[in-house]
Amino acid sequence: MGTDQPRKVGVEKKGRTGLLSRSRAAGRVKALVRCLGVAVGTLGLIATLASPATADPSDTPLTVDDAKAQVAGLEADAAAIDQESVGVKEQIKSSKAKLKQKRSDVAAQTAKVTQMRQQVGQVALAQFQNRSLNTTARLLLTEDTDGFLNQVSTVEKVSQNQNSALQDYQSEQADLASLERSTATDLAQLEAQQKSLTDLRKQSDAKITEAKAVLAKLTDEERQRIAAEEARLAKAAQQDANAVTTSDSTAPQDSGSVAGSGRAAKAISFAKAQLGKPYVYAAAGPNAYDCSGLTSAAWKAAGVRIPRTSQAQYGAGKSVSKSDLQPGDLVFYYSGISHVALYVGNGTIIHAPHPGSNVRYAKLDSMPYAGARRVG
């Protein structure tokens, strides 16, 4: 037993040493794996960051044509929102006028009810004072029977008038309550419209900011190319417009050389005088215009009043086909009717295009055509 004990201790010590060695080896392996994992993960992250597939789409280079399409779409959206907000402004204007009238009606009705309340109070007092003695008793006690009967007849007539006054008072008081409720409803609607207008303005501004950001991605040379192309198209449209001769003809556009007559000619003359003036939201002259502000001002100068917005103008006058257009006709664009121009002849329009632009000529088919109306 005594000789075996040291051997046993040695074995245990050797076993522990082996276990420690294996444990340390395993630890080193795990550490190595962790290091490799970190390295692989780091390489993967670097590869991911460098991969074109994960790049921000907004950083993708644009072609000039792509930029033009995007900017045109955003400008059209901004102009459409402007027309919608102009419509809301018209609603607000109408609501304010309606509210002002109702408040005036409420004041008048309040004065009327107050006066009638005094009359009703006098009626109630008279009825209270005469309630203690009925007609039969008073007839028996009076010496002048005929005179009393005449008085009774008069009193009954007065009583009928008093009852009528009481009924009128109740009716007028109900009308006052109805007016007050209606005024409160109109005020709430006006507040909602004001909020809607604010939201629309923010949306339009955001579209213009986005359009500027698109252009900012282009080089100076590319932006100059776009500006040169726009100038070329505007010049071509102006040459076509200048080719329209002044006459009394009202021939269709296919005749090539046509001009408006009468009120249409006055509307066109007014619009031409506005060339170069800036597009400004909700403007209808004299120093700036939006699209429907220009067309409504032009026709107003010709003695014809038309609605303020492009959508409302689409319901004015009578519909005309594209092949039968005459100078002075209103021409509408885009689905939802968000833009309007004035036809001047020879396949040319004059319009206030969008925020950031000026009143100018353009080709009839420069935008998605939606219809035309004749108002003069």
Out of 216, 240, 274, a domain closes at: 216
What CATH number does residue 307 fall under?
3.90.1720.10
SS (H, E, C) 257-306: CCCCCCHHHHHHHHHHHCCCCEECCCCECCCCECHHHHHHHHHHHCCCCC
Structure tokens that stand for 342 in this block: 């004035």
CA distances from 357 to 41, 169, 203 (A): 52, 61, 18
364 and 268 inside one domain: yes
> What does the pLDDT read at residue 226?
86
249 and 350 inside one domain: yes
Does residue 7 sit within a domain? no
What CATH number does residue 104 fall under?
1.10.287
Unique residue bearing structure tokens 């005449």: 150
203 and 224 inside one domain: no
Out of 156, 188, 216, a domain closes at: 216
Angstrom distance (rounded) from CA 271 to CA 267: 6
| Cβ–Cβ < 8 Å for 232, 246 | no
Q: Is the peptide bond before 286 cis (omega within 30 degrees of 0)?
A: yes
Overall number of domains in the chain = 3
Does residue 6 sit within a domain? no
Please list, in sequence order, all residues whose beta carbon lies within 8 angstroms of the beta carbon of residue 352, skipping any fewer than 6 positions away.
Answer: 277, 279, 289, 290, 291, 293, 294, 358, 359
Angstrom distance (rounded) from CA 196 to CA 94: 15
Interhelix angle 145-216/64-129, rounded to 10 degrees, is 170
249 and 326 inside one domain: yes
pTM more than 0.75? no
42 and 128 inside one domain: no
Please list, in sequence order, all residues whose beta carbon lies within 8 angstroms of the beta carbon of residue 304, skipping any fewer than 6 positions away.
Answer: 263, 267, 375, 376
346 and 364 inside one domain: yes
71 and 50 inside one domain: no
Catalytic pick among 264, 291, 302, 330 = 291
Does residue 10 sit within a domain? no
88 and 158 inside one domain: yes
Structure tokens that stand for 15 in this block: 């076993």
Does residue 123 sit within a domain? yes
Interhelix angle 220-242/64-129, rounded to 10 degrees, is 70
| Cβ–Cβ < 8 Å for 367, 334 | yes
Out of 155, 186, 216, a domain closes at: 216
Catalytic site residue 354? no
Does residue 298 sit within a domain? yes
210 and 225 inside one domain: no
Does residue 102 sit within a domain? yes
Angstrom distance (rounded) from CA 191 to CA 6: 99
> What does the pLDDT read at residue 360?
95
Angstrom distance (rounded) from CA 70 to CA 76: 10
Catalytic site residue 35? no
Domain carrying residue 44 = 20-55
92 and 194 inside one domain: yes
Please choose, from the candidates 272, 271, 240, the residue with its C-alpha nearest in 3D space to the C-alpha of residue 253: 240
Catalytic pick among 102, 207, 339, 360 = 339
> What does the pLDDT read at residue 51?
39
* Beta strand residue intervals within the chain, DSSP E: 318-319, 330-333, 339-345, 348-351, 360-363, 369-374
pLDDT along the chain (376 residues), means of 10: 44 43 47 40 37 45 83 89 89 86 85 77 61 50 57 56 71 84 86 87 90 89 88 88 61 42 91 95 94 97 95 96 96 94 96 93 95 94
135 and 87 inside one domain: yes
Does residue 61 sit within a domain? no
Q: Dihedral sign, CA of 171, 174, 180, 181?
A: negative
Catalytic pick among 351, 354, 360, 373 = 351
Please list, in sequence order, all residues whose beta carbon lies within 8 angstroms of the beta carbon of residue 173, skipping any fewer than 6 positions away.
Answer: 113, 116
Please list, in sequence order, all residues whose beta carbon lies within 8 angstroms of the beta carbon of residue 131, skipping any fewer than 6 positions away.
Answer: none
198 and 170 inside one domain: yes
Does residue 129 sit within a domain? yes
